[in-house]
Every structure is written in C-alpha cells, then in structure tokens.
A = this chain, B = another copy of it.
Amino acid sequence: MSEGSEVTLDSVKERTGGRSARVRQSVLDAARAELLEGGYGSMSHASVARRAGVDRATVYRRWPSKARLAMDSLVGLADNSVAFPDRGPVESDLREMATSVAKLLETPSISHLFQALIAAQAEDPSLREVGAGFWKERLEIGAHIVTAAVDRGEIDPVEDPAHVLEVMISPLYFRALISCQEIDQAFIDDSVDRAVAMLAFPG
C-alpha cells in the first residue's frame, strides 16, 4: 500500500532548471541575434549553436526545424519600441503609434524579424496558430489606445477596438513587408485618418 510505483508515472522527468534553462535561453538569444543581423535565410542551426556556445546537436535535438527555432525565439519578445500612448486625444495617440510602427518597419534588422516570423509560418503550418496568438495579443495591446479614449469619455464605445488598429496598421505592414513600397508621411496620415473615421462613424 505504501508503494510509490504509480507515483513515478506522473512524476516530472523533464528538466527545466539549471543548465537546461541556461542553454535554452542562450540558444534563443543567439537565434534572435542571428535573425536580427542576417534574417531568416542566413540563420542556421550551426550559426546559432556557435553563437550560443553550445553543440550543434543540442540545438537540433531541442528544435528539430529551423522554423520552430525562429518562432520560439521571437514569440514572447516584448517589443517596447512601439509607442502605446493613451493620454492625448485619440487621434494623436494613434498618429504616434502609426509613426513608431512605420519607423520600426523601415529598420532593416526589425524588418528581418517580421519576415522571419512570416517565413516560419510559411514553412511550418502548425506554427500559424502560434503566430496568430502573437498578433492577437499585439493588437489587443494596441487597442488599449482606443479603449482608453472610451474610458475617458472622449469617444463613444467601439465594438471592436482591435479591428480599428488592425485596419490602421495593415497598409503599413503591407507596404513594408509585401509590396515593398515607400511609406511616406502622407500615407501614415491617411491611415490614421481612416482609423479616426472608423471611431467617428462606427457603421
């Protein structure tokens, strides 16, 4: 009766602390650095392992595919480069955010990160839901600009705040990552104006 045999069945056998955690972190950091520098194409298990100071086989064992490695290194990356102001009038808050996004997208290294995210999703369809969660969360945070304005009583309640943000930034990402067109100030302003219009006429 005092047998503990079945207890070992659900005992945790996977190691999460100590060296394993250290290795995992350095590999993830190294992968992110590789993506920042050369983009998805130039990143490899070998280059990441070298930079992280671990063996090549270790990286292969933990992340069998390059796509998963890239995704793991990017998800959870708290990017504080984007401004999420919620004090001024909504319009200026939105304008400030759109501007910071545009500026971020024209930074080659940052652009590499987003392209890596896309490439990873393209190579491994099972990663699409991970990426979906990443963007969902990101838009929710951005939607705070709108909800804050509602709370201040500045504007009427909005049905889907995240959708407003999505519409505002979509053209920016489209031009930066897909159609490779220049993003000038007029384009940013237009995006902001359209978002503001959505708040004024929620039809």
Contact = CB atoms under 8 A, between A and B. Distances in A.
Interface string A73-92: 00000000000000000000
Interface string A163-175: 1001101110110
A175 to B, nearest CB: 8
B177 A118 contact: yes
Contacts of A67: 41
Q: Is the interface of A mostly helix, strand, loop or mixed?
A: helix
Interface in A152-181: 163, 166-167, 169-171, 173-174, 177-181
A180 B121 contact: yes
Interface of A: 39-41, 67, 112, 114-119, 121-123, 128-129, 131-132, 135-136, 139, 163, 166-167, 169-171, 173-174, 177-181, 190, 193-194, 197-198, 203
